[in-house]
Amino acid sequence: MKFISVELENFRPYQGVQKISFAQGPETNVTVLWGTNGGGKTSLLNAFTWALYGVLSVDVESQDQLINTTVWNSAVEGTPLTASVTIEFEHTGHVYIVKRSVYASKHGSLQPRPKPELQLWQRERDGNLKPVLNPSGRLDQMLPERLSRFFFVNGERIEALVKHEGGEDVREAVKTLLGLEAMERAIEHLPRVAQKLRRGMKAEGASQQKLDDLLVKMEDAERMAQEQQRRRNAAEKELKHFDLEIKSLNHKMTQLAEAKDLQQDRYRLEDQLRRIRVARQEQEEQRASLVGTSGFLAFLPALPGKILAACEALYERGQLPAPLKQTFVDHLIERGECICGTPLIEGSTHHAALELWRARAGLAEVEAAWNQLRGIVAGFDGQRVQLHDALRGFDERIAEAQEDERRLEHDIDEIGNKLKRLPSEEVVETEEKLEAAKLARDEKVAAIGAAVAEIERLTSVKEDLKKQADNLGVKDARSRRIQNRVVAIEEASNALIQILEILSQGVRRRLDARIQELYRLVSLKSYEPELTPDFELELWDPSGSQRVPAPKSTGENMLLSLAFVGSLIGDARDAQKHGRTFIQGIGGDFPVVMDAVFGNLDDDYRRAVADFLPRLASQVVILTSKAQAGEIVEQELRPRLGKQYVITAHTTKLDVSNATKTLTLNGNTYPYQVVGSNRTGAELTEVHD
């Protein structure tokens, strides 16, 4: 997708018809719109999302007031008025025009709640416009609204991506990128379908009442499991809040001179504690696996000896190995002749003697089984000794890890005590808040654990009830078909769960690799970014002997967030190029429109961001003020600039001090703020070379 132009008609501060054409060149792919704070930049950003999806960002005030207030206020009562945004863009080799309009007749000073109309056309080769049916659905296929927050970005809010609550946005982006919403809905709905089908089953005779009782119990167990899942989700949401608060308080400690060194020591000890806990848990899992596979050896101290003694007795009696094989004797009797040539006539002494040998002969399979058993049990004593040695080793390592954990926990607690004994009231207050947040977090962890345990118990109950229901004799062919369908549905649900996890983690790993690559290109420090398995953006400091969380500044947060946006754009581009889109996943080359991207960054980070943005996407639109961007950014962007516009802010106020009235670009001067104007609003002017 590439934007060709956007046309605003009486849309919020933009009076009349005003139009912007965007840079589209491969080398000059940047369009910059210069505007003062409050001068119309955010309204322009929202013009895109309103035209495409009919939504404005939550920070936009008076969302119903879409028609320009100057036009509305100056109109005569009863006058029909309109506001619209029209975007012309190219997508997959076709040119489209989308227009969203709102109409109202003036009756009073307040505008009525708008009822927008949406139209979408495709421009044909002869220039004619062909209407596109279901325009909202078609636009959502091109660029889903769920991804729009990453392509139409308010720089002042993009930092939220690197916070814990931003993980949910990242997860949603991954699912949308893959087109996994349909799969998620199927996973959610399939168990309900299976339950509904079971209600149609009929059992034989008295079993019908039992079947009905089982189905009621299954529904009750499912209802209780869903309630536990809701509790778990609520606790996990609160847990993220406390994790964020703890991270913020820890970061604050690093900014307080009196606490900085102690906080760094605590970071180091906490990282050691995490590593030791992971190692201890791995040892416990390995020990449990060993007990599960070889634990029976501990309960067989006497049995191997008894088996070996029985084998020896058979050998002593000459029964092992058997003197003759039964199959050999059977063959002689069947042939009617001994190997010496004597006839074996039924009833003769020779035949009776062979029948006697037949009773004494052994089966080859039995002899082989005895020999195999003897060989297996012969090594039991040694294996039991090895089991005891291995378990002793696990116990020693686990005990050592537990002791290290207790020592580290004590050292961490002691750092907290030292911090509370410092003379700084701010440090003491921060540490007390940190302790309270950790205590609250631990309570949520316990609540999550209890909910998980109860969900597992209820899942086991449901499985047992399902088996009982499936084992009841069904009455007719229809019920048997229902049983088969239920089994197929459950197998499909389990398969979809596995596929969803595999696909999600696959795209997460791809995005993680891209984020690391992009971040290294622009980072001013040797920090390492990570998109974790929980889909949270983290930043690590590897400079010490052990990796610790990096104290992220506004600049690092901005670069990390932009690296994630760039990774999304890159993955979507590759998905289309290699035909890797899945189900309803998206692919393509998408633009990015960013407002206030430079924020309050210092000059070094402004320069880094300005250098990075042209490489972020094939088309970049930047909305910024002169104060935010400055000469540094203008110089960095100059080689990639294809289009520039000035958003002139008009105000009727006269007593505005320190207003920047003009802006000089490419040697030409443009009005920047018009004080004492006859209207309030914004006006677009193209910058010429």
Taking phi over 0 as left and psi of -120 to 50 as alpha, with beta for the rest, 630 belongs to left
Question: What's the burial of 181, exposed, middle or buried (CB within 10 Å: 0-12/13-18/19+)?
Answer: middle
Amino acid 159: pLDDT: 64
Q: Would you call 507 helix, strand, or coil by DSSP?
A: helix
454-466: average pLDDT? 89
- Read off the pLDDT band of 166 (50, 70, 90): low
In percent, the amount of the chain with pLDDT more than 70 equals 82
Strand arrangement of the beta sheet that strand 528-531 belongs to: 528-531, 537-541, 548-549
Q: Is the pLDDT of residue 381 over 80?
A: no
What CA–CA distance (Å, rounded) separates 687 from 31?
Answer: 11
- Read off the pLDDT band of 39 (50, 70, 90): confident
Q: Which two tokens stand for residue 46?
A: 């929202």
- Give the residue carrying structure tokens 């961490």: 412
31 neighbors 637 (Cβ within 8 angstroms): no
| Higher-scoring residue by pLDDT: 173, 294 | 294
Query: Dihedrals φ, ψ of 94, to 5°?
Result: -120, 150
The pTM of this model reads 0.65
Amino acid 488: pLDDT: 86
260 neighbors 551 (Cβ within 8 angstroms): no
Q: Is the pLDDT of residue 239 over 90?
A: no
What CA–CA distance (Å, rounded) separates 271 from 546?
Answer: 8
What CA–CA distance (Å, rounded) separates 307 from 314?
Answer: 11
Amino acid 643: pLDDT: 92
| HEC letters along 372-424 | HHHHHHHCHHHHHHHHHHHHHHHHHHHHHHHHHHHHHHHHHHHHHHHHHCCCC
360-379: average pLDDT? 54
Task: Tell me the per-residue pLDDT of 303-346, one tens digit each, with 9 for 90 and over.
Answer: 565 655 666 565 554 444 544 455 666 666 777 777 676 777 77
Q: Hey, how many other C-beta atoms are within 10 angstroms of the C-beta on 388?
A: 12
382-396: average pLDDT? 84
Q: Is the pLDDT of residue 163 over 70?
A: no
Segments making up each domain of the chain, as ranges: 2-143+590-686, 323-361
> Has domain 2-143+590-686 been given CATH number 2.60.130.10?
no
Q: Would you call 425 helix, strand, or coil by DSSP?
A: helix
In percent, the amount of the chain with pLDDT more than 90 equals 29
Taking phi over 0 as left and psi of -120 to 50 as alpha, with beta for the rest, 339 belongs to alpha
Amino acid 644: pLDDT: 92
| Higher-scoring residue by pLDDT: 335, 92 | 92
Closest CA to 297 of 396, 392, 394, 388: 388
Q: Hey, how many other C-beta atoms are within 10 angstroms of the C-beta on 148?
A: 19
Query: Dihedrals φ, ψ of 131, to 5°?
Result: -60, 140
- Read off the pLDDT band of 362 (50, 70, 90): very low
H helix count then E strand count, the chain: 18, 18
Residue environment code for 534-545, b if the CB has 16+ CB neighbours within 10 A, otherwise e:
ebbbbbebeeee
- Read off the pLDDT band of 178 (50, 70, 90): low
Q: Hey, how many other C-beta atoms are within 10 angstroms of the C-beta on 225?
A: 20
DSSP 155: T
Q: Hey, how many other C-beta atoms are within 10 angstroms of the C-beta on 669?
A: 11
DSSP structure string for 611-645: HHHHHHSSSEEEEE-HHHHHHHHHHHHGGGEEEEE
Task: Tell me the per-residue pLDDT of 580-610, one tens digit each, with 9 for 90 and over.
Answer: 555 455 667 788 898 888 876 778 888 888 8
